Each structure stands twice: as C-alpha cells, then as structure tokens.
Amino acid sequence: MENIKLNIEKTLGFISKEKLASYEPKVKACMETLEKGTGLGNDFLGWLHLPSSITQEHLDDLKATAQVLRENCEVVVVAGIGGSYLGARAVIEAMSDSFAWLKEKKAGQPVILFAGHNIGEDYLYELTTYLQDKKFGIINISKSGTTTETALAFRLLKEQCERQRGKEMARKVIVAVTDAKKGAARTTADKEGYKSFIIPDNVGGRFSVLTPVGLLPIAVAGFDIEQLVNGAREMEKVCASENLMENPSALYAATRNELYQNGKKIEILVNFQPKLHYFMEWWKQLFGESEGKDHKGIYPSSVDFSTDLHSMGQWIQEGERTIYETVVSVETPNHELKVPTDAENLDGLNFLAGKRIDEVNKMAELGTQLAHVDGGVPNMRVSVPMLNEFYLGELIYFFEKACGISGYLLEVNPFNQPGVEAYKKNMFALLNKPGYEAESKAIQARLNK
Ligand code: PA5
C-alpha cells in the first residue's frame, strides 16, 4: 500500500541541499534522545510507540462503549479543549459528510457536537437549547480534570442530561476520559459510576489523539479506529529510519528548521479540501504549543484554499517574505463529480466540460504553488493518497514524530506548555477562585492603579 509522501523540491531554491544533508547527524541525535528518553520533557514520551502498543482488547473496549452511546443517543457532545478536543474534531470532520449536520438526527448514527473549548455564553445557551428535545450523551475529556472551560460546560450538560434522561440513563450515556487518579473529572466519574477511560500519564494532551481522547469520539462518530491506528503504526515504522531522505518526519523537521534559520519564521499549513480545516487546527496546536518557547519557534498558521486565496492569497504572494507553505494535498477524492456541458455556454465554462472538479482543484493547487514559489515562498508538499482513517493515522504520527524531532532541533522542551498557565492565573485571581487570594489582591491593586 502507498504511504503519504513528503516532497521538499520546492524549498531547494531557498535552502541548499548540502546544508539540509548536514542535518542528518543532528536529526539522528534527536531521534536517539527521543528513543532513549534522555531529553527535555522525557516523562511525556508515551506517544512515541503508542500506535504499536495499542492492544486489540483496548480497541474492542472503546468500540463497545462507542456502541452504547451510538445506540442510545441522537447527539453526543464531546467536552474538551486543546489536546482534549482538536484531534477528535480533526479526524471526525475530515471523515464526515460536509452536510452531516443538516441530516436527520437519529440514534444509531449520532451527530457529534463539541463544547468545553470556549466560554461563550451564547454558544452554551444555543447548544443547551438545541439539546432540549434531543436524546444526548456526553464524553467528558480532560487529562487534568480541572480545566475551567471543560468543567463549566460539563456542569451544564451533566445537569441537563440527568434532568432530561433520568439519572440511570445519564449514567449510561456519560463517559469520562481522564487521569487514572487525579482531578475533579475522575472524582465525578468514580462517584457517579460512569464508564471511564484513562489518559496515560506519559502522553501529553496534544499528542493524545491515539488514546481514548481521540479514539472514543471517533468511534462514536462511526469511523474505523483500527484503520486509524494501523495507519499510525505504518508511519511509526517508516519514521524510525535514520536515513534523512527516507524518513519523512526527519526530513520535514530538518527542512522547516533550516527554513527558520533562513528567516522563514512562519509556516502556513495549506489544504485544498475544506474537510481538513480542523486537521490544520490540530496541527497548529501540536507545533505551536510544542515549539513556541524561550522566545523561539516557527509560528504555525493555516489557510483553506482556494477559499483563502481570495483573502490571504494577496499577503502570501506579496507580503513580508518570512513565510513558507506546507501543502497537505489529497490525491484522489472519495467521490466523483464532472463539470457538465452547457449548450449556451453563457458562463464560458465549457472549456472545463467533462473534467472532474478535482482536476480544476489540482490545477488551482499547482498554479498556486508555482506563483507562490515565484513570489519567494518556499513550498513543501505532503501528498495523501486519499482521505480515509488509515492515511489520517499516518498523517497524525508523521506530524507528531516530526514535532518531537523539530522541538529538539530547536533546543526547546516540546512536551510542556508553561506559557498556558499565565492567563489561567489571572482569570482565577479575577474570579476570586479559592486558593488565589494573594493573586486576587495583587491583580486588583494593578487594575486600580
Ligand atoms: O496539549 C496540552 O497539554 C493542552 O492543550 C491540553 O490538552 C489542554 O490544556 C486541555 O487540558 P486538559 O485535558 O487537562 O483539560
């Protein structure tokens, strides 16, 4: 079977092949550091060999729980934020019919909605209103079990689910994915007798999509988690190679770091398939939270083309030359649609008649690549044979491994996120959370100045 492939040819007018080749020993050292667990953040390396260590028994347990939710719910709300949200959403949106949300809601094929990733009062009001006449269930996902956004949404949803469906049914359709021992989500799950899954201690949030964090919601949505894991397993093998040119994760890590050293401070992840929008969001979190430290790190951004060619396209073509692009390109769409012939040809589109829509899309992609490279934007391309669970699994592991290597090349700890705490401390102080009395006083004094 074909695998995803990385092509870096269109970066070589900007960085030299020789310089890139010189990364081989450095990348090898980073890979060894990951394997031996001798680097920064080494207590969070559980993702490295996660795909090959997932057992059939675990997958069967996840599938059986998913089946309970599928049979008893028209809607399942997945509560979580950051790494406890984006991976599941990325895969579900990539695999779903774009108009699934407009179709009839029925038990057996529940609609998946997301909450706990914002504190929008209107969002939560509208969600809870929508759920008023729905048989809904909840997957509450939080590794720490204390994240405010998620806990707040779960408090609202739990109360509503129990009120609408009764305590007994609520116990059946609420599932927790959290730490084995710590946190309020664990305490609640144990006390209420919810089915629960454990997020391994040594897997950080943004590397957790192949744990129950991602696998359970994806299974509830009706997608094949075995194939997802198989794809990741395949990439685990491919990305073990110490040969830079044969290991796509290593080559991607080396290329982006060399581009960074040459003033390309912003990476734009590009798709030409709107279904990949949330995959880009997952990728931004993976690289942003892993590398943006010590006043270093490539800024990860993303665009949906060709939509954004009509907005950000101008900036990319002629703005500041500090960017490069990585295009995630799906080779073959899952459905076929051809441009019809029109006898009158009023729109002048008969030159496209008989062509597949994807052929037009591919020419937009090629035309864009040529234009952007001419405009001074290096371009990498990750080709994905088609959008299915297997290749999404490959993509996930490819980017995770690249992120680990890339973070070590940059000499940061890719597995922590100390910067995320700053806003929380202020928010808790402003809300007078017990335990934050000193911070509350200090922040009030600062605001009253
Ligand atoms: O990558 C991370 O560790 C974070 O983005 C977390 O996933 C996010 O903050 C949510 O944390 P938790 O799962 O503890 O609620």
Does residue 94 share a domain with residue 217?
yes
Q: What is the pLDDT of residues 22-53, one digit of tens each?
A: 999 999 999 999 999 999 999 999 999 999 99
Q: What is the pLDDT of residues 138-174, one digit of tens each?
A: 999 999 999 999 999 999 999 999 999 999 999 999 9
CATH number at residue 146: 3.40.50.10490
Helices (H), 110-200: 121-130, 148-173, 184-192
Tokens matching residue 371 = 């234009």
Residue 434 belongs to a domain: no
240 and 101 within one domain: no
Instruction: Say yes or no to pLDDT of 102 above 80.
Output: no
pLDDT of 314: 97
Alpha carbon nearest to ligand 1 atom 8, residue: 82
For residue range 175-225, list pLDDT tens digits in order. 999 999 999 999 999 999 999 999 999 999 999 999 999 999 999 999 999
Average pLDDT in the chain: 96
* C-alpha 418 – ligand 1 centre gap (Å): 12
Tens of pLDDT along 3-23?
999 999 999 999 999 999 999
Q: What percent of the chain is modeled with pLDDT above 90?
A: 96
Concerning whether 394 is annotated as a catalytic residue, the answer is: no
Q: How far is the CA of 337 from the centre of ligand 1 (A)?
A: 40
Instruction: Calculate the dihedral angle through the C-alpha atoms of 155, 156, 162, 165, rounding to the nearest 10 degrees.
Output: -140
**Binning pLDDT at 50, 70 and 90, where does residue 106 land?**
low
Counting Cβ atoms within 10 Å, is residue 337 exposed (0-12), middle (13-18) or buried (19+)?
exposed
315 plus 236 within the same structural domain: yes
Q: Specify if 420 maps to a domain.
A: no
Q: Which atom of ligand 1 is nearest to the CA of 147?
A: 15
Handedness of CA 371, 373, 376, 378 (dihedral sign): positive
Average pLDDT over residues 308-336: 98
pLDDT band at 105 (very low <50, low <70, confident <90, very high): low
* Residues 264 and 365 reside in one and the same domain: yes
Q: Closest Cα to residue 280, out of 311, 257, 305, 250?
A: 305
Question: Quick check: 76 pLDDT over 70?
Answer: yes
Q: CA-CA distance, 200 to 211, in Å (whole number)? A: 8
In one letter, which amino acid is 301?
Answer: S
Give the per-residue pLDDT at 335: 97
Same domain for 185 and 262, yes or no, is: no
pLDDT 10s digits, 419-435? 988 899 999 999 999 99
Q: What is the CA radius of gyration of the chain?
A: 23
Closest CA to 328 of 376, 396, 259, 424: 396
Q: What is the distance between the alpha carbons of residues 133 and 32, in angstroms, rounded to a whole number?
A: 54
Checking if the pLDDT of 114 tops 70, the result is yes
436, part of any domain: no
- This model's pTM is above 0.95: yes
Same domain? 58 vs 117: yes
Atom of ligand 1 nearest to the CA of 289: 1
| 334-357 tens-digit pLDDT | 999 999 999 999 999 999 999 999
Using the structure block, give the residue that is written with the tokens 């695998």. Answer: 3
Domain boundary at 175, 209, 226, which?
226
Atom of ligand 1 at shortest range from CA of 207: 1
Q: Please indicate whether residue 289 is annotated as part of the active site.
A: yes
CA distance 449 to 444: 9
Among the listed residues 26, 182, 265, 424, the single catalytic one is 424
Alpha helices in 272-415 (DSSP H): 277-291, 313-318, 357-374, 389-409
The DSSP symbol for 359 reads H
Look at residue 107 and tell me whether its pLDDT is greater than 90.
no
Residue 273 CB neighbours (<10 A)? 19
Instruction: Give the ligand 1 atom nearest the CA of 144.
Output: 14
Ligand 1 atom closest to Cα of residue 199: 13
Separation CA 376–CA 288 (nearest Å): 24
State mean pLDDT over 399-412. 98
Give the residue numbers spanning the domain of 318.
5-40+229-409
Q: Which of 119, 143, 150, 201 to mutate to test the pocket of ligand 1 (most atoms within 8 A of CB)?
A: 143
Does residue 219 sit in the same domain as residue 239? no
In the predicted structure, residue 358 carries a pLDDT above the cut 90: yes
CB 400 within 8 Å of CB 286: yes
Mutate to test the pocket of ligand 1, among 43, 84, 139, 182 (most ligand atoms within 8 A of CB): 84
Catalytic residue among 289, 291, 365, 400: 289
Please report whether residue 161 resides in a domain: yes
Q: Name the domain boundary from 226, 244, 274.
A: 226
Test site for ligand 1: of 118, 147, 209, most ligand atoms within 8 A of the Cβ: 147
Residues forming a β-bridge with 301: 268
Ligand 1 atom 3, closest CA: 205
Q: Are residues 205 and 291 in the same domain?
A: no
- Report how far ligand 1's centroid is from the alpha carbon of 142 (Å): 7
Shortest-distance Cα residue to atom 15 of ligand 1 = 142
**Mean pLDDT value across residues 95-100:** 91
Ligand 1: residues within 6 Å at CB? 81-84, 142-144, 147, 150, 204-206, 289, 417
Alpha helix ranges (H) inside 299-386 = 313-318, 357-374
103 has pLDDT over 80:
no
- Total number of domains in the chain: 2
Strands (E), 246-308: 266-271, 299-304
The CB density around residue 108, as the number of other CB atoms within 10 Å, is 11
